Amino acid sequence: MNGLLGKKLPGRAVPMIGCVSVFLSFWIAVAGFFTLLGIEEPKERLVIQSLYQWLLISWDQGRFSLELAFRMDPLSAVMCLVVSGVGFLIHLYSVGYMAGDDSQPRYFAYLNLFTFSMLLLVLADNLLVMFVGWEGVGLCSYLLIGFWFTDLDKARAGMKAFIVNRVGDFGFFVGLMLLFWTLFETSGGAVTGLSFGQLQEAMPRLITARPIWNIEVATWVALLLFVGATGKSAQIPLYVWLPDAMAGPTPVSAFIHAATMVTAGVYMIARLNFLFLSAPAALAVVAIVGGVTAFGAATLAVVQNDIKRVLAYSTISQLGFMFMAVGVAAFSAGIFHLVTHSFFKALLFLGAGSVIHAVHHNDLRHMGGLRRYMPWTFLTFMAGYLAISGVPPLSGFMSKDEILWAVFTSHLPVPGLGKALWALGLITASLTAFYMTRLVILAFAGTYRGTPEEAHHLHESPPVMTGPLMALAVLAVIGGAMGLPAPTHLPHALESFLKPVLGDHGGSDPVVHAYGMEVLLMGLSSAVAVAGICGGWLCYVKHTEIPARAASRFAGIYRMLSRLFFVDELYQFLFISPLVKLAKIAGHFDLNGIDAGVNLTSWLTTKLAVLVGWEDLQVVDGVVNGLAGVVQKCGDQLRRLHTGKIQHYLYSVAFGLFGLYIILLLL
Amino acid sequence: MKTIIFNVFVLMAIIPSLWVALSSNIVHAAFSLLFTLFGIAGLFVLLGADFVGVVQVIIYIGGIMVLIIFGVMMTQGARLSPLSVNLPGRLLAAGLTGIILAVLMVAATHFLWPVGSAPPPPTPASQAIGNLLLGKYLIPFEVASLLLLAALVGAVLIVRHSVRSDLSPSVFIIRRKQRGE
Amino acid sequence: MTYSLSSFLMVSSLLFCLGLFTVLTRRNAIGVLMGIELVLNAGALNFVAFSRFLEAPEGAPLISGQVFALFVIAIAAAEAAAVIAIVLSLYSMLKTVDIEQYQQLHG
């Protein structure tokens, strides 16, 4: 509605339609959630609804059916609540943030389309419907990043996001096809469908399939699907689009690049847990990639000067944590962190948006002392900051710690890998606390470092923006309650809720459990968080000369970090330049080769036409004229009969008579 | 007796017709034609067609011949070239005519005509002719009358438009009337 | 010798050929007309001769020939009138009745 009619509706109506629709979705999600809870037996908590049959192919051995079907089970319920709930808050926030922008109808239309695609993704019952949603969110991400497309850089950022995403999607699709093909082959042509239930049943067949190039098929499929996840969820090597995606409006960054789209990869792996469990090698790869990404992104976040970029790299880092979790088969831990991360990351982004709304720029170096001018923003931001830093007992601590414990106790193919990854995670957590502290201090503490006129305009954001901030802050603080750790002997609500779907591989295993170890590790992670905070305080409050000195001392490392490990340049060299050159050559060929061919043909045709015309003139006209000439000559000859002399005519009569006699005589 | 009369009439028909063909004086030719027609009329009577013979005399000689003589008079052709076509033409015509004559003669004498011993036609034949004209040959009779009408109208039309000189006062008057006086 | 059909036929053919000769040789238009009259009369004579001598049905005499002869005379009259009219108009136009001069239809 907004997309088509938006321009003509009154100003107030457009955002209202956008928000109301998401709110309705949220209520339906809540209703669904409670319905599921109402079903007593956990194993029965599953509702599948098929809307219509997309495709049906039948043959002798069996039939393949593809339906537009939706599945409501605990996992999708949780995801729905997150998407629609956080989404609603962000829609509300957008009303304030985008006020005054002319393209509001387009904005809300895109945002709603995105919400729709994401819900499609999480509610899908089979891989192909999920893929539709997968592509849909990619498209909307492009549309929303490049929302202010009149700025060429912003438009380019959108393009970059979409293309990198597509590379990932290609991997996903190849994995999908490989899966289908293998199932088809191994079952002798009796593949029935690609729904998750059917896939789960078909797993044994997949495991016994013939390996390709000495690698199990299951591993191939899992790895290929993971490639798609790296693209969508910004892991190495396809993360490069996320920092540039900050060109879009901040609510977009909050929603898409913090809470929902980037979590699609994690969700996908959780949904297909049975597949990934059949491919331990792939899981190990996932965990390693997650860990390295988490650490690398955190290091990059330390040197960023753009407030949104810090948060972007932070997102990549936290996603790395999630992938580490699912990589060690701690699926519910990964989902737990996904949920809490959506709370505090969205909060942080929206808070940043509030700051940007006030100072009209993103540069941390020119901010400061904002806590005086924007108290609500400051308070809520603090809540999110503490959560992400892993300070107990906020939600961030609960989920992050669970992941660290799971990684520590995991049994990966390579011995000792779990502990190494745990150490990496710990360092990353410390770095997270450090750079977030830096951000908070630079933005809110001290005195304002901008121009005096800007100082006059500093003001708190309107309630429509601060309201969602407060809601999210509450969630960030108390959200941890859904996943209380085992040593406390309190129920881990989320894990038990998700158990029917995710199996018994949730973070904590009550039987083989060393409570002591776990408490020790909890204390360790809290300690490193506090250490990071103190480090930040030291560098940026007490001795503010330290950062500059460190930068000059470790100039090489500093340069590496600030130039983002030169990854963008690497990609440009490896992929983009050759492609552009190839395109140029193709164009050249088209212009000179093909166009020349076409021109040659046309030249030949004109010459031929001339020839034919000549032939027509000479031959055809000759015949016509000749015919006329013959007739004329005959006429000339016959004319001579007309002597005008009556006697001649009379003679002819007489001769005729004579002739008649002859004939009569003869006959 | 009959034969003698027959011969007389035959001669009376043929000899003037020779004169018609060969004479260089058109007036002589016209009057010779008159005599020929008389001879033919006599032959008609000899054949028992008395009505036809009389009609021949009255109409053919009394009407047509007079008309022809009028024509000769009016056109003053006698004064102009009286000669017939020159010699080569006459020879050709003679040759052709001779052949045709030969053929006809042969046909007349050697062909076995289905001659029957028919009684001579009733005299006077007018009653029988009248019966036929208004009975079996009614349509040709009517058509012939139409033809005569057409000839009459046509002749007047032809002469009316073309006569410029005052050949006859009546024509002149007609022309005057034509101009709408 | 008594006359018979063939004698009459001979006469009529002679008249016909003389008439034909007249038509072909006369230079005067009226002369041509006279020749035509001879031909027509020969034909009429033929008709009547045949009506006299030919096989007749049931002994009743054949009168049709005489009727035809009457028709011939009528037609000859009409035709002569027309021809005279034409010749007169030609004469008023061209001042001559010499058929050699009537070359307007040439070409």
- CATH number, domain of C69, equals 1.10.287.3510
Mutate to test the interface with B, among C10, C27, C55 (most CBs of B within 10 A): C27
**Which of A42-46, A54-58, A215-219, A399-403 comes out lowest in average pLDDT?**
A42-46
Residue identified by tokens 């001979």 is C10
Residue B11's domain is classified under what CATH number?
Answer: 1.20.120.1200
Chain Cα centroid distance, residue A603: 50
- CB atoms < 10 A from the CB of A473, how many? 24
As a residue count, chain A comes to 667
Instruction: Note whether residue B102 is domain-resident.
Output: no
Q: Which band of pLDDT confidence, cut at 50, 70 and 90, is reported for residue A510?
A: very low
Residue C70 lies in a domain: yes
What average pLDDT score do residues A65-72 get? 75
Mutate: best of C25, C96, C99, partner A, most A CBs <10 A: C99
Q: Please give the pLDDT value at position A330.
A: 81
Looking at the domain assignment, is residue B176 inside a domain? yes
Tell me which chain B residue has its CA closest to the CA of residue C77: B64
Alpha-carbon Rg for chain A in angstroms:
38
Interface of C with B in 37-56 (CB under 8 A): 37-38, 41, 44-45, 48-49, 51-56
Better-predicted residue by pLDDT, B169 or C78: C78
Domain count, chain B: 2
AA identity, residue A462: P
Q: For A435-467, what is each residue's pLDDT tens digit?
A: 888 888 888 777 766 666 666 666 677 777 777
The nearest alpha carbon in chain C to B35 belongs to: C38
CB-based contact, A645 to chain C, within 8 Å: yes
Q: What is the DSSP letter of A462?
A: P
pLDDT given at position A271: 84
Is B22 contained in some domain?
A: yes
Chain B residues near residue C48 by CB distance under 8 angstroms:
43-44, 47, 49, 52
Could you say which DSSP state residue A329 is in? Answer: T
A51 vs A394 pLDDT, higher one: A394
Last residue of a domain, one of B52, B78, B104: B78
Tokens at C78, concatenated = 């009409």
In a domain, B105, yes or no: no
B/e letters for A575-585, b = 16+ CB within 10 Å, e = fewer, are eeeeeeeeeee
Q: Do B103 and A665 touch (CB under 8 A)?
A: yes
Domain boundary among B78, B93, B117: B78
Nearest by CB: C61 against B20, B119, B154: B119
Chain B residues touching residue C45 (CB < 8 angstroms)? 40, 43-44
Q: HSE-up of A256 (CA within 13 Å, CB side)?
A: 35
Query: Are the C-beta atoms of residues A160 and A33 closer than 8 Å to each other?
Result: no
Per CB-CB distance under 8 Å, the chain B contacts of C76 are 60, 64
Name subunits touching C (3+ CB pairs < 8 A).
A, B
Interface membership of B85 toward A (CB under 8 Å)? yes
Residue B107 lies in a domain: no
CA distance A12 to A83: 24
* Residue A1 predicted with pLDDT over 50: no
Contacts of A650 in chain C (CB under 8 A): 23-24, 32
> Same structural domain for residues B131 and B63?
no
B63 and B136 share a domain?
no
Q: Is residue B110 part of a domain?
A: no
Question: In chain A, what residues touch C32 (CB-CB under 8 Å)?
Answer: 646, 650
Out of B43, B78, B113, pick the residue that ends a domain: B78
Q: What is the pLDDT of residues A222-260, one digit of tens each?
A: 888 888 888 887 777 777 778 888 888 888 888 887 777
Reported as a pLDDT band with limits 50, 70 and 90, residue B145 is: very high
Range of the domain at B142: 126-181
pLDDT range class, residue C45, cuts 50, 70, 90? very high
Check whether A624 has a pLDDT greater than 60: yes
Q: Are A400 and A483 in contact (CB under 8 A)?
A: no
Interface partners of chain A (CB pairs < 8 Å, 3 or more) are B, C
Residue pointed to by tokens 């922008």:
A101
Maximum Cα–Cα distance across chain C: 59
Q: Do A661 and B100 touch (CB under 8 A)?
A: yes
Helix (H, G, I), strand (E, B) or coil at A475: helix
C102 has a chain A CB within 8 A of its CB: yes
C-alpha dihedral (C97, C102, C104, C107), degrees to nearest 10: 170
**Would the pLDDT of A653 be above 50?**
yes
Query: CB–CB of B41/B61 below 8 Å?
Result: yes
pTM above 0.80, yes or no: no
Interchain CB contact of B33 with C (< 8 Å): yes
In angstroms, the CA A122 to CA A83 distance is 9
Q: Which two tokens stand for residue A434?
A: 């450090």
**Reported ipTM:** 0.88
Q: Which residue has the higher pLDDT, A192 or B88?
A: B88
Which residue bears the tokens 């190039």? A213
Which of A332-346, A537-551, A588-602, A621-635 shows the lowest per-residue confidence on average (mean pLDDT)? A537-551
Whether residue A477 has pLDDT greater than 60: yes
The DSSP-derived string for A120-143 is HHHHBSBHHHHHHHHHHHHHHHHH
Q: Retrieve residue A534's tokens.
A: 């103190």
Q: Is B74 within the bounds of a domain?
A: yes
- Put simply, the chain B residues between 49 and 108 with a CB less than 8 A from any chain C CB are 49, 51-52, 55-56, 59-60, 63-64, 67-68, 70-72, 74-75, 77, 80-85, 89-90, 92-94, 96-98, 100-101, 104-105, 107-108
Q: Is C32 on the interface with A (CB under 8 A)?
A: yes
Report CB contact under 8 Å: A658, B85.
no
Q: What is the pLDDT of residue A389?
A: 83
pLDDT, position B13 = 93
User: Running DSSP on this structure, what letter comes out for residue A604?
Assistant: H
Backbone dihedral angles phi then psi of residue A53, each to the nearest 5 degrees: -90, 120
Q: How far is A640 from chain B (nearest CA, A)?
A: 19
Count CB atoms within 10 A of the CB of residue A512: 7
Q: Which of B85, B96, B103 sits opposite A654 (nearest CB)?
A: B96
Confidence of residue C73 (pLDDT cuts 50, 70, 90): very high
Q: In angstroms, what separates the C-alpha of C40 from chain B's closest C-alpha?
A: 11
Q: Is C106 part of a structural domain of the chain? A: no
Judged by CB atoms closer than 8 Å, whether chains meet at B85 and A647 is answered as yes
CA-to-CA distance for A328 and A222, rounded, in angstroms? 14
The length of chain C is 107
Closest Cα in chain B to C26: B84
Lowest mean pLDDT of A32-36, A55-59, A225-229, B33-37, name the range.
A55-59
Q: Say yes or no: B74 and B135 in one domain.
A: no
Domain that residue C79 falls in: 5-100
The closest CB to that of C34, out of B18, B33, B63, belongs to B33
With beta carbons under 8 A apart, name residues in chain A contacting C104: 644
Count of CB contacts below 8 A, A vs C? 31
Q: Do C104 and A644 count as a contact with CB atoms less than 8 A apart?
A: yes
Give how many domains chain C has, as a whole number: 1
Q: How far is A627 from chain C (nearest CA, A)?
A: 22
Do residues B7 and B69 both lie within one domain? yes
**Residue A4: count of CB within 10 angstroms of its CB:** 9
Best C24, C83, C90, C101 residue to mutate vs chain A (most A CBs within 10 Å): C24
Here the tokens at position C39 are 């031909």
| B contact test, residue of A651, A660, A666 with most B CBs within 10 A | A651
Q: What is the 3-state secondary structure (H, E, C) of B14-59?
A: HHHHHHHHHCCCHHHHHHHHHHHHHHHHHHHHHCCCHHHHHHHHHH
Query: What is d(CA A145, CA A218) in angstroms, rounded to the nearest whole number?
Result: 35
Stretch A266-270: mean pLDDT = 86
* Pairwise CB contact (< 8 Å): B103 & A661: yes
Is C87–B163 a contact, with Cβ atoms under 8 angstroms apart?
A: no
Per DSSP, chain B holds a count of helices (H) and strands (E) of 8, 0
What is the rounded distance in angstroms from the CA atom of residue A374 to the CA atom of residue A351? 10
